A = this chain, B = another copy of it.
């Protein structure tokens, strides 16, 4: 099915906003409006779409509370929990990257 294993990973978390969403969900369950507030640049449409795909891939759970106003909560599934090491190492690299604690950029600096 996949030429290389990493393609499977990309299939699951490769969406434009998926890793960021999962990153926020590692801190606990979040409802839609919370995620929207945590990721202001995302549009409602893309948020819904990416959440749907994550749900279909079984990495997050979606719980709907039948009430008015509506309440929908998303959280990591067991499979999603298994992605923690991936998320963590990505967050970690990003931190060091921002803080300049990584090797210099490999080019001539232009």
List residues of A whose CB falls within 8 A of some B CB: 1-10, 12, 14, 16, 19-20, 23-24, 39-40, 55-61, 76-83, 85-87, 89-98, 102-107
Identical copies in the complex: 2
Check B83–A2 contact: CB distance below 8 A.
Answer: no
Cβ-neighbour of A6 out of B78, B83, B87, B96 (below 8 A): B87
A54, closest chain B residue (CB): B106
Give Cα A24 to B103, complex, Å: 21
Cβ-neighbour of A9 out of B56, B58, B83, B94 (below 8 A): B94
Cβ-neighbour of A107 out of B19, B77, B94, B105 (below 8 A): B77
Q: Which residues of B contact A19 (CB under 8 A)?
A: 6, 10, 14
Would you mind naming 13 contact pairs between A and B with Cβ atoms under 8 Å apart? A4-B94, A5-B95, A5-B98, A8-B97, A9-B90, A9-B94, A10-B19, A14-B19, A58-B106, A77-B107, A79-B105, A85-B93, A86-B90
